[in-house]
Each structure stands twice: as C-alpha cells, then as structure tokens.
Amino acid sequence: MAPYHGSSADILRLFKGQRPTIVGNAWGFFLQKRTAESPVLSLRNFTGQGKGDKKGWWKSGTTIREVVDFYIKQGKTFASHPSITEITIGAWFATGSHGNGGNAGKPSTSVLEAVEIVCFDPPSIQIYSNYKDIRAIFDSPNVNHVITYAKFHNLEENRMLQKRAFVVDSVQSANKWLSSGAILRVLFVGAAREGLGIRWEKPYEKTEHIDPHCCSKCSTFIQADVCSSICGCRENYTHWNGLTTLYNANIWAPSVIPLETFIAVIGGVTNFELVFRVKEMNGVVLEKMVRLLRDMHKDIGGRTEIRYGTGVVFWDLSLTKSFGKPFNLLAENFGVKRLALHPGKYQPRNIKTTMKIVKIGVIYFNLELEKIKF
C-alpha cells in the first residue's frame, strides 16, 4: 500500500490488525542490506502538509529537504537535522537519526513539536510531544507503529555562519575542535589521513568566500569523507573559511546519487554507527580516539566520522571488514560499558564484546536499564 492522502485512521484501516513493514524512501533498507517483508506500507507518496484538523502538520513521507525548503522561504530553518535530506521526516524520528549540532547549537529533536503515531496491533492513534516517549515506542522489541504526521516548532533564523577546518592530530587541536562556539561540527579520520575537523561558527573573519558555490558541496564532501579513506587529498585549510547560512551548513553534503550507491555496493562498503557516552569528553580523550581510529583504519581501511554535541558521541563507520574492531577499541581504551547501534543503519552481527548493546534511547537519555518500561 502506498497511499497519497488520508488520515491516520484511514491508514490504520488499510491493514486491519496486520503488522506492515514501514518504508519511507528506503535509505535504511539500503544501508541495512535487507528487503521489506510483506505486507508493506510505503509512504513515498504520503507527502506535503495536512489539511483540515492537520493544518500545520506534515505527512511523514515528506523528505527533510521538502520541509526545510518550505520554511526557508520564510527565512526560517531547522537548528540541526540529518545530513542526508532525502530521508523522510517519519524515518528521521522513528530511527533516532540526528544532525551534527555542536555545543553552541541545538539537537535536531529540538524542532519537533509533536508526532501522530498509529499502532496497528492493538489498533490505536495517539499524539506524542515528548521525544523520550517516542523513543520508548520505536525502541521496543515489539514495535508495530508508524509515524503518520509530524509538527515542528522552535525554528531558527537562517543566520550567517562561517566554516573552519583544521587537522586534528594533537590534544591542542582536539581541544580546538571541542571548544565553545561550534553551531555545527564533524570530524573525519581514516586510512588515508589524520583527523580533519570541521566547525561552523559565528563569522570570525572577513572574506569574499561564500558557500555553496559551483561544485563546492561535492568538493567538500569528497575531501572530507571519501578522501579520508583513500588518497588523503584536500585543499589548503585556509580555503575552508567560506561564509554560509545555517540552512546550507546543515545541508553541507550533496544529494546521494545512484553512482555513489553503486560504488558502495560493488566495493562492499558497509555503513554502521556506534552511539555511546564517555565519562568526560575533552582534548585528551578526543586525541586518543582520533589516534587509535587512525591506526585501526590504516590496518583495515575505511573511515570514521565523529559527531559530538554536548553528551552523546557518534562514530559513523564505513568499513569493508573487521566490524568488531571498533567495538574492541571502545571497550578496551575508553571504559565504555554500553552502546547503541543506530537502528537506521547496518546492524553488525555476531560481534564479541564485553559491552552491553542497548537501544539508542537508553544512550540519548542516559537511562538506567532497570527503569526502562516499554
């Protein structure tokens, strides 16, 4: 079923107590290397704003890009959101996806006012405004729900920011990446290069360099991401000082094209993400992370993208083999006792680790396991 219109009640009636597989734009299925089992509820056509009592709400099959392009016409945008804007807003929140907000920015969940959720068995329709409650639903082992509508608030002015990039290969440079004032930030390290830290901050120097410009998104992405794994090429860091808007800083990576997915498939690249907390994040800890990840990638190839705001650490890994090594690295060197796998990405199996694998909401809210009730 791939409805174009209708209420949550209409969608509930389509399946009459069945438990459908929910598919948005299927990016998660591609990353997880799996197919959708029948019956399938595809939301690819269920897009745009609602009408009537759903005025101001968005249908959950709408992509992030469609929503931010609507609000930018009003001079507003999201504080943070996932870099892959082709994913649907329903998948964004159901899978616990996130942006790359820094310590001076806001998390991507800050823009979510409420969602309407259909439960297929037993049948019900509820509105939730607390993200912790939403995570409890979609982290449940017996989840049989779908987000049908989402409503946003707390949008930001589309203000001007400035990008900054530098090598992260010492405690001093690690502290620089972690220092206050980062609205957004990412850090890449891989088989071909030491850490490359990128920050988007309030404008810090005069320049005529404005991003994005011709091919700049593609160039930035290839240098930061792909070249961390192979060749290590990059421009001089003095060229990474472009002024840009918050809207464009959040969409710093170009749209995914079929050629990229084809290369990933034939190259055997697998993308999964470890989500965890450390006792204290500082320059000493981050430098150690980057150094040990660099050694690991020189041995097994691939790259890691590190994201960190104020509490949760994300390691987004692209590897072709030895999936257990980053688990061991975390357990043996950083005292991590538990971690989550991003549910919208590949789920490595048969990993031997002393760490407890928990649901992503446990990490997000730093929950005590014995108090969790689904």
Residue 369 confidence class, pLDDT cut points 50, 70, 90: low
Residue 372 confidence class, pLDDT cut points 50, 70, 90: low
Whole-angstrom distance, CA of residue 71 vs CA of residue 92: 18
- pLDDT of 259 strictly over 90: no
CATH 3.30.465.10 intervals, the chain = 8-155
pLDDT digits (tens, 9 = 90+) for 237-253: 999 999 999 999 999 99
Residue 234 confidence class, pLDDT cut points 50, 70, 90: very high
Whole-angstrom distance, CA of residue 176 vs CA of residue 189: 16
As given in the structure block, the two tokens for residue 161 are 């920011």
Quote the pLDDT of residue 16: 81
* 3-state secondary structure (DSSP) of residue 330: helix
Of the options 3.30.465.10, 3.40.50.300, 3.40.640.10, 3.20.20.210, the CATH number for the domain spanning 8-155: 3.30.465.10
Which amino acid is residue 94, in one-letter code? A
pLDDT digits (tens, 9 = 90+) for 25-72: 999 999 999 999 999 999 999 999 999 999 999 999 999 999 999 999
pLDDT digits (tens, 9 = 90+) for 118-165: 999 999 999 999 999 999 999 999 899 999 999 999 999 999 999 999
User: Topology of 258-371 in CATH?
Assistant: Alpha-Beta Plaits (3.30.70)
Q: Nearest-5° angle of CA 8, CA 14, CA 15? A: 105
- pLDDT of 374 strictly over 50: no
As given in the structure block, the two tokens for residue 303 are 């790259």
pLDDT digits (tens, 9 = 90+) for 176-219: 999 999 999 999 999 999 999 999 999 999 999 999 998 899 99
Quote the pLDDT of residue 323: 98
CB proximity list for 214: less than 8 A, separation 6 or greater: none
pLDDT mean over 318-332: 97
Quote the pLDDT of residue 96: 97
Could you give the maximum distance between any two Cα atoms of the chain, in Å? 61
Quote the pLDDT of residue 331: 97
For the chain, percent of residues with pLDDT exceeding 70: 98
CATH 3.30.70.1140 intervals, the chain = 258-371
Task: Name the E strands within 129-255.
Answer: 145-152, 156-157, 160-168, 184-190, 193-201, 243-245
